[in-house]
Amino acid sequence: MTQDDLPAIFRDFNPLDDKILQIIDREGKLIRKDLMPELDDATIIDAYRQMLYERTADEMAVSYQRQGRMYTFTPNLGQEAIHIAAGMNIRHEDWLVPAFREMGTLLSKGVTMKEMFLFYLGNEWGGSFQNAHHTLPIAISIGTQLQHATGVGYSVKYRRKDETVFTFIGDGGTSEGDFSEALNFAGVWQVPVIFTIQNNQYAISVPVQKQTNSINLAVKSVAFGIPGIKVDGNDFFAMYLAYKTAAEHARSGRGPILIEALTYRLGAHTTSDDPSKYRKKEEEQLWGKSDPLIRLKRYMQDAGIWSIDEEQLREQYKAEIDREFTEAENEKSYPLEDVFTHIYSDMPDELRRQKSEYEQFLSWKEKRG
Amino acid sequence: MSVMTMVKAINNALEIKLKEDEHIVVYGEDVGVEGGVFRVTEGLQKKYGTERVFDSPLAESGIVGTALGMAVSGLRPVVELQFEGFTFPAFNQILSNVARIQNRSRGKYKAPMVIRFPYGGGVNALEHHSDSPEALFAHIPGLKVVIPSTPHDAKGMMIAALESNDPIIFMEPKRIYRAIKQEVPDEKYTLPLDKARVVQEGSDITLVAFGAMIRECQKAIVMAEEAGISVELIDLRSIYPIDRETIRTSVRKTGRMIVVAEAHESFSVGSELIAIANEEAFLYLEAPPRRVGGFDTIVPLAQGEPYYIISPDRIFYEIEKTIHF
């Protein structure tokens, strides 16, 4: 691909120069009016509401886990601008190949909080996202999902479909071989895949500086001959522009794109993790000031389009989310059948035998009392 | 009918399905222009184009990982991994995703894909080209693992694999890729992917084998028959699901069993078959079921391989030992 084929922002924010696409600054002040995406007030308000919904759901999930009502959860706190900007650019027919920390994007594909909760309550039905079209389950094995995304991209291209693939990975995941293989295959095959690295700066406890000697993560695209860009992941407008541009690029048959979204995981890696062991309070506080919700809110206030009663909206969301959690909590118990049914399309005799032997044990146990 | 080698039979199966089903794509290292290092895909790219039959970058995890992406989005990929020793970069994708996506998504997504590769020793090869890793794959829930031993079976099993909605590990015994020629029907046919085949009936002892070891067993059986021993030979064909029924029936009849397999003996398919013999035919046994397998060593290079590889006379020796237990 020549420089001329690149969308303008990919030329202007060349990752080799370590530039970062930013439209509002850390105080929410508009600094690149020329790049501001054309969004009407209602859309901006909607974006904020979605981010607030994700934030509220996230906080409640952590709280349910703390109350002992839910198992391990992976918080999204601080990364909502990425998720919602992606979600606003992903169409019904597009594919979402998630990692495990992009809840807002999953919600925009039609995943419900009930399903999310059911998954973190330990039920595969929740994580299967039955009603979310073209949405793969959460990938826990780091980096492997990127190759699935590239394969889906091949399939889309082969079937001449107008579908774009959105996939995610973290900063630590870029060290995996699968990351490089997926980008390499995508480059060779020129498939419509938008790869997002959510660089939240920590892979559990390991800082990004220990993952790579590259000047940034977007620069990794250069070796694979695909466009890449580093974006302020806490700037909703920058993320929106990046996704809009990337989607136009991919949808016009010009191949894959890599977006590094520079952000910060304000919460823990999972509810079993304690960040105070490996990072300083001051650092967290500094990044807390760059909270994507606060920045967007300040922009909206400055622009005179802030019309949200945040406290009331939060209460409304809390009630909605709590209803979904209660539904998930009260879901019917997990039948033995569910352990066996979906391993194969047709259950092999060996599985039938194991299931039936276990059922005999259960009836023995029941008789024994 | 045409006379075919196993290479030709698999090629023929792929061709029949490529023609019939536009969702099938075939790729891997050197499978396009070259037609594969063993020529299993020879001529297919010319006929079906570079979009359906193509060379991928040299990365096994990438090959299998992308194939899973294709499989969940409507295609039926058939990928070749060049040798069994090079399947391991893809092992994580196979174990962590290919075998699990159906369960993880509660059946929303399936992985109708075939991962095929040559395996096994006896060809004087470099390291990583003589191994028999079937047990490693058979231990993974969600996979079906099959191994043909004849051109006829190879064609019918490959077509069945290409029509399966589950991921199939299709292991091809490279030692007999071209060693056996057989009349094979030209038209399409399928064979079950969960059934063993009784190659020959006998009454004194059951030999269970698969892949290239069937031919070695047949040679040993000639020696056994000369010694007045009647041998039943079972070609397992499907490693998983394993055909418990056929094993049960045979071992109850003969009361004796030897499993002949190239893989390291410990924790092998033979170990599993002995467990089945014990569970299903304990009171019928006349002698302890045995394994004749590879040592728990690295397969030696060509000079040392004759020690490792299982010869017909060694199988006969074990038959006699078990008969006279």
One domain, residues A39 and A180? yes
Report the alpha-carbon distance of residue A217 to residue A197 in Å, rounded. 8
Q: Which two tokens stand for residue A267?
A: 């919460």
Number of residues written out for chain B: 325
Residue A6 has pLDDT above 90, yes or no: no
Q: For residues B296 and B271, is the Cβ–Cβ distance under 8 A?
A: no
Q: Which residue of B has its CA nearest to A184?
A: B57
Look up residue A181 and give its two tokens: 């293989």
Reading the block at residue B74, the tokens are 């409507």
Taking an 8 Å cut-off on Cβ atoms, the answer to whether B61 and A181 are in contact is yes
Looking at the fold, whether A220 and A358 belong to one and the same domain comes out as no
Please state the rounded mean pLDDT for residues A202-218.
Answer: 97
The answer on A326 and A188 residing in a single domain is yes
Q: A257-270 b/e with 16+ CB inside 10 Å = b?
A: bbbbbbbbbbbbbb
Cis peptide preceding A15, ω within 30 of 0: no
Interface check for B93 against chain A (CB to CB < 8 A): the answer is yes
Choose, out of B106, B139, B194, the residue to mutate when testing the contact with A (most A CBs < 10 Å): B106
| pLDDT tens for each residue of A149-159 | 999 999 999 99
CB contact A350 to B (< 8 Å): yes
* Ramachandran sector of residue A155 (left: φ over 0; alpha: ψ -120 to 50; beta: rest): alpha
Yes or no: domain B197-323 corresponds to CATH 1.10.150.20: no
Short-list A266, A244, A298, CA closest to A48 = A298
- pLDDT at residue number A282: 95
Model pLDDT for residues B106-145, shown as the tens digit of each residue = 999 999 999 999 999 999 999 999 999 999 999 999 999 9
- Distance in angstroms (rounded) separating the CA atoms of residues A215 and B280: 63
> What is the second-level CATH architecture of the domain B2-184?
3-Layer(aba) Sandwich (3.40)
- CA distances B82 to A114, A359, B298, Å, are 45, 43, 20
Å between A346 CA and nearest CA of chain B = 9
Instruction: For chain B, give every residue range classified as CATH 3.40.50.920.
Output: 197-323
* Spatial separation of the C-alpha atoms in residues B168 and B116, rounded to whole Å: 8
* Backbone torsion region of residue B106, taken as left when φ is above 0, otherwise alpha when ψ lies between -120 and 50, otherwise beta: left
Name the band, by pLDDT with cuts 50, 70 and 90, for residue A2.
low
Q: Is the Cβ–Cβ distance between A136 and A148 less than 8 Å?
A: yes
Please tell me whether residues A364 and A249 are part of one structural domain.
no
Q: Do A223 and A367 sit in the same domain of this protein?
A: no
Our CA-based measurement puts residue B143 at a distance from the nearest CA of chain A, in whole angstroms, of 8
Please give the positions of A annotated as active site. Answer: 265, 269, 278
Residue B129 among the catalytic residues:
yes
pLDDT surpassing 70 at residue A278 = yes
- pLDDT tens digits along B213-258: 999 999 999 999 999 999 999 999 999 999 999 999 999 999 999 9
User: Strand pairing partners for A258?
Assistant: A195, A228
Q: Is the pLDDT of residue A1 over 80?
A: no
Please answer yes or no on whether B66 and A151 come within 8 Å at the CB atom. Answer: yes
Interchain contact A123–B (C-beta under 8 A): no
Show Cβ contacts of residue A364 under 8 Å, excluding neighbours closer than 6 positions: none
- In this predicted structure, the answer to whether residue A346 has a pLDDT above a threshold of 60 is yes
pLDDT band with cut points at 50, 70 and 90 for residue A3: low
Is residue A59 located within the same domain as residue A44?
Answer: yes
A131 and A256 share one domain = yes
Kindly indicate the confidence band of residue A7, based on its pLDDT and cuts at 50, 70 and 90: confident
Containing domain of residue A344, as a range?
Answer: 335-369
Which residues in chain A are closer than 8 Å to B96, comparing Cβ atoms?
141, 144
The answer on pLDDT for A5 being more than 80 is: no
Whether the Cβ atoms of residue A257 and residue A246 lie closer than 8 Å to each other:
yes
Residue type for B67, please?
A: A
Rounded (5°) CA angle A185-A191-A196: 80
The HSE-up count of residue A190 (CA atoms within 13 Å, CB side) is 7
| Beta carbons of B24 and B52 less than 8 angstroms apart | yes
- Looking at residue B289, its pLDDT comes to 98
Which regions of chain B carry the CATH code 3.40.50.970?
2-184
B324 lies within 8 A of chain A by CB: no
pLDDT of res. A4:
64
Same structural domain for residues A322 and A344?
Answer: no
B266 at the A interface (CB within 8 A)? no
Stretch 134-193 of chain A: residues touching chain B, C-beta under 8 Å: 134, 136-137, 139, 141, 144, 146-156, 158-159, 177-178, 181-182, 184-185, 188
What b-and-e string marks burial along B101-121, b requiring 16 or more CB atoms within 10 Å of the CB?
A: bbbbbbebbbbbbbbbbbbbb
Please provide the average confidence, as pLDDT, over all residues in chain B: 98
Of B129, B139, B152, B324, catalytic: B129
Size of interface A-B (CB pairs under 8 A): 143
Residue B137: half-sphere exposure toward Cβ, Cα within 13 Å: 33
Q: How many domains does chain A have?
A: 2
SS (H, E, C) A65-114: HHCCCCCCCCCCCCCHHHHHHHHHHCCCCCEEECCCCCHHHHHHCCCCHH
- Residues of chain B with C-beta less than 8 angstroms from the C-beta of A349: 194, 241, 244-245
Distance CA B33, CA A2 (A): 28
- Domain match, A300 and A347 both: no
A164 contacts A251 by C-beta, under 8 angstroms: yes
Once rounded to an integer, what is the mean pLDDT over residues B274-289? Answer: 98
Quote ipTM for the complex.
Answer: 0.97
| pTM value > 0.90 | yes
Considering only CB atoms, A144 lies closest to which of B51, B65, B67, namely: B65
pLDDT tens figures, A69-119: 999 999 999 999 999 999 999 999 999 999 999 999 999 999 999 999 999
* Across A268-278, average pLDDT: 93
Compare CB distances from A151 to B68, B96, B102 and report the shortest one's residue. B68
Scan residues 209-238 of B and list those with Cβ closer than 8 Å to A: none
Count the neighbouring beta carbons within 10 Å of the beta carbon of residue B253: 16
A295 and A312 housed in the same domain: yes
Q: Are residues A346 and A329 in the same domain?
A: no
3-state secondary structure (DSSP) of residue A358: helix
On whether both A232 and A353 belong to a single domain, the answer is no
3-state class of A124 per DSSP? helix
Q: What is the per-residue pLDDT for B39?
A: 97
Contacts of B62 in chain A (CB under 8 A): 147, 150, 178, 181-182, 184-185
Q: Which residue's structure tokens are 């084998």?
A: B209
Q: At A270, which CATH number? A: 3.40.50.970
